[in-house]
Structure 1
């Protein structure tokens, strides 16, 4: 869901960026055209015989207008560079978020694997404990049986010894 939203935001910003670039290009063409017209008018006026003061005044006015147009051009150029930098930054942030999302997903899978391993280990420990308890009971039972058989063998041995001693004495 986050990737889709980021893609939509990126598309919107890209559209806005291209719109700004179009406006910038259009304005730049208008400025260039206005500068050419101004220079042509100045040239025509200079070619005509007129008052030197009027010509100087018109030339001064055209220089001011040209400086103003150049200033606007520079401002627009700076804005274009800033918009391009913002677009680049947004793309970088989007790439970082995509990588981060991938890392979070991978870590989630690793956590699931670790959790499953812990559960399996706990089950194995419980099974091992019950098998050890069963083995301890079997061993204790086996020792008890051996002890009983040994006691019976000793009793039988004593009886046989007693019978043999009694026959030898009689």
Structure 2
């Protein structure tokens, strides 16, 4: 589990290689943290569930959320940088795809954690509603006989109820934090998606222009070929007509001289 992340968008983003390496490293850390979070979330509502487990889950969730925000800013900076070399464009596209996939897995884990925590809160509230007053039923004689035993039980129930209420408040705070983080991740998806779409549209436009120009060149070549063929055919026709004319004149002359 990665919890030593210091974060921060690096100041000098002019070096494409350095920025891409930092992004790649962060993606690996986020992916590793998501894997750890998933294992912890699977232990919720099981015998392995504990306050310590939930505390660790909160910590890794907070670290990963901050890292995701910083990495998102780096991805956006990377996309704004010129990619004259095809290798750089491939690197940029690969990193953005890997980051989006990792971010999607992170959000899915957040949603599962929030859902399980909500279920826990509903169960605790239901239990507190069903707990009745142990002194509310029975005769006075029975209450006297129960004496100190019931008093101790009531004290234990009160302490247990107080602990449960504290846990309930903490879990409700966890739910609010998770829901807020999920909304932040949604915003990251929207911003990155819009940027990728815009850049994709530009690329499509360039490719369309190149294709259109290529089509124009091919069309021009075809027209030249057609013009050349037409010229050759016209030349052949003139030659044929000249030959026919010569033959006709020769025949006429032969007939005249023969007569």
Q: TM-score, normalised by structure 2?
A: 0.34
TM-score by length of 1: 0.48
